Amino acid sequence: MSSRRGFLQNVLAGAGFFASAKVLSAQEMQMSGDMPGMKMKGKKETVHDHTSPALTETPDLPNLPWRMDGNVKEFHLIAEPVKQEIVPGRVVDLWGYNGSAPGPTIQVTRGDRVRIIVDNHLPEATSMHWHGFDIPNDMDGSPGSSQDPIAPGGRFVYEFTLNQEGTYFYHSHMAMQEMMGMIGAFVMHPKETYKPRVDRDFVIIMQEYAVLPNINVPNSMNMEFNWLTFNGKSGPANTPLIVRHGERVRIRLINLGMDHHPIHIHGHQFVVTGTEGGRQPESTWGPGNTVLVGVAQARDVEFVANNPGDWMLHCHLPHHMMNQMSSMVGPMSRRNGMPPGLDMERGMGMLRQGSATSEENGPSLGRGLGVGSTAEQTMSNSPLKAGNPMQPQDMPDRQRQGMQMGKPEVSKDANSVPGFPQDAFMEGPMMAMDQMVDKPENFGLRPGWSGFMAGMMTFVRVLPQDKYDHIIELREKEKGKKPMKMDMPGMEHKHE
Ligand SMILES: [Cu+2]
């Protein structure tokens, strides 16, 4: 086995095939694209192939291209540090694959022989586990038992035949690396489509990060999280799921983090048609609109998009519908206002010991987690200045830029109501940034929408034909402006 692998590596390295996955051209991918539904029939494909399954779209993430080597479908994954822009202006240092966290989505068909070359460009050892795959033990990617970890700068070549179908994923089997982002979707399509066939097929991967203010690296030890992502983006930066009125839709939900997420859809009832173990028999399908996706689980849901409109799809944990939750820095914001009877220095909240980011005065996330927050804070949902909510000019330029900064509507006596404020400064006009997250898929949303879509939230936009066509047209124009994308050829044109 290992000598064959070594031989292969040499051949590939010699041929210069895999300096980077990005060298695979669109043409190569197209030529090797033997996936059902991907064949280009004539110049413009207008007719669906109703016997093969719909290809999966992963909003905000690319598909992983492949090449055929004989009868083997060959993929190349690079584990590496990445800069992931979670929302506009918030770039976080994560670890992922081929430039993103999560990594690109892999799609195969039942029966495929698959080879995946994994290069480790991380500063430490890693391993690649194929979650839920029925494959030989020495291909399982369990560090220390089925293989040695892949050393920094090293490579491991996995090869197996897949006789499964459903929603699977790949991830680093090093626990803290998982919390740095190291996962990607691995969809195994059936040879022939299920009935009823879905018209649209989406993947959403859920992750969570604890990123304290003024730092770009998540604290992977923390147990409470202030950035909750779908496919590496937090609302309102997610690209909505665009579907036509009347289409049957599948959404494949995958969760890898420290929390379980109850995912809820508005305006529709769905059925759970699959788990991380594959397809469920139709006799198990009961209607629902919220599905709990536990850690390391996948849930496929299907529904007919028979109710037009812009419908929220989101995790229903209240704290997962917010961005960047953290308490303020410094003694004034972390104690109960100005204490009476103290000298001016202390009364004003001047630091007497430690720094602004010390354990005592530093930023924290929610309740009792990590540095600086062993106790509940007796503080409200700032910013709080009696009767005078924070104004746009109070914000740093970077934040103000592109934000709409409308005034929240609060009653005259708001400050006298115990509990105020709750959402007044965390949701709504103050947080709206429609222009910052503008993209074709957001066209026509109600102005100010983005102020209410933080955290694990996106839309399923169920559109009449003309609106749908318009958005696809805008998307095409946008694509023309950008350099080459790594999507599979044929894929996005399929439904036009
Ligand atoms: Cu959640």
CA nearest neighbour of 320 among 395, 257, 383, 376? 257
The per-residue pLDDT for 410 is 86
Categorize the per-residue pLDDT at 340 as very low, low, confident or very high, splitting at 50, 70 and 90.
low
Residue with tokens 């495929």: 112
- Least confident piece of the model among 242-251, 262-271, 445-454, 475-484: 475-484
Cβ atoms within 10 Å, residue 252: 25
The per-residue pLDDT for 364 is 58
pLDDT for residue 175 is more than 50: yes
Q: Kindly report the backbone phi and psi dihedral angles of residue 105, in degrees, each rounded to the nearest multiple of 5, phi listed first.
A: -85, 135
> What is the DSSP secondary-structure string of 120-168?
E-SSS-B-EEEET----GGGS--BTTTBPPBPTT-EEEEEEE----EEE
pLDDT for residue 153 is more than 60: yes
Stretch (H or E) spanning 345: helix 344-347
Averaged pLDDT for residues 14-36: 38
**CA–centroid distance, residue 260 to ligand 1 (Å):** 6
Query: How far, in Å, CA of 491 to CA of 385, rounded?
Result: 52
**CA–centroid distance, residue 325 to ligand 1 (Å):** 14
pLDDT for residue 42 is more than 50: no
Paired tokens of 354: 């430690």
The per-residue pLDDT for 237 is 95
Higher pLDDT, residue 172 or 431: 172
CA nearest neighbour of 11 among 160, 161, 159, 157? 157
pLDDT tens per residue, range 388-429: 444 444 444 444 445 555 677 888 888 888 888 888 877 777
DSSP category for residue 93: E
Cβ atoms within 10 Å, residue 197: 16
**CA–centroid distance, residue 457 to ligand 1 (Å):** 10
User: Looking only at Cα atoms, what is the longest distance across the chain?
Assistant: 83
pTM for the whole structure = 0.78
Q: What is the 3-state secondary structure (H, E, C) of 357-402?
A: CCCCCCCCCCCCCCCCCCCCCCCCCCCCCCCCCCCHHHCCHHHHCC
CA nearest neighbour of 75 among 98, 56, 44? 98
Using DSSP's 3-state secondary structure scheme, residue 278 falls into: strand
The per-residue pLDDT for 326 is 63
**CA–centroid distance, residue 302 to ligand 1 (Å):** 20
The per-residue pLDDT for 35 is 46
Categorize the per-residue pLDDT at 247 as very low, low, confident or very high, splitting at 50, 70 and 90.
very high
Paired tokens of 418: 């115990």
**CA–centroid distance, residue 293 to ligand 1 (Å):** 9
Terminal-to-terminal C-alpha distance of the chain: 46
Q: How many residues does the chain have?
A: 496
Averaged pLDDT for residues 147-153: 97
Percent of the chain with pLDDT over 90: 58
The per-residue pLDDT for 23 is 35
**CA–centroid distance, residue 454 to ligand 1 (Å):** 12
| Cβ–Cβ under 8 Å, residues 300 and 273 | yes
The residues placing their C-beta within 5 Å of ligand 1, an ion, are: 261, 315, 317, 320
Best mean pLDDT range from 201-210, 322-331, 357-366 = 201-210
**CA–centroid distance, residue 261 to ligand 1 (Å):** 4
- Least confident piece of the model among 112-121, 164-173, 365-374: 365-374
Neighbouring-strand partners of residue 157: 117
The per-residue pLDDT for 478 is 86
Averaged pLDDT for residues 93-110: 98
Percent of the chain with pLDDT over 70: 71
pLDDT for residue 140 is more than 90: yes
Paired tokens of 233: 């983006």
Averaged pLDDT for residues 142-155: 96
The per-residue pLDDT for 146 is 95
Averaged pLDDT for residues 438-462: 94
From start to end of 140-240, where are the E strands? 155-161, 166-172, 183-189, 200-209, 227-230
pLDDT tens per residue, range 454-488: 999 999 999 999 999 999 999 999 887 765 444 44
Averaged pLDDT for residues 160-167: 98
Using DSSP's 3-state secondary structure scheme, residue 12 falls into: helix
pLDDT for residue 117 is more than 60: yes
Cα–Cα distances in Å, from 342 out to 345, 348, 362, 439? Answer: 8, 9, 22, 53
**CA–centroid distance, residue 123 to ligand 1 (Å):** 31
Paired tokens of 190: 């059936």
**CA–centroid distance, residue 223 to ligand 1 (Å):** 13
Task: Tell me the Cα Rg of the chain.
Answer: 24
Using DSSP's 3-state secondary structure scheme, residue 37 falls into: coil
∠ Cα 110 111 113 (to 5°): 120
For 114-131, letters b (16+ CB in 10 Å) and e give bbbbbbbebeebbbbbbb
| Cβ–Cβ under 8 Å, residues 256 and 171 | yes
**CA–centroid distance, residue 312 to ligand 1 (Å):** 14
| Cβ–Cβ under 8 Å, residues 201 and 54 | yes
The per-residue pLDDT for 337 is 52
Which residues are CB-contacts of 57 (< 8 A; sequence separation ≥ 6)?
A: 200, 201, 202, 203, 491, 492
Categorize the per-residue pLDDT at 20 as very low, low, confident or very high, splitting at 50, 70 and 90.
very low
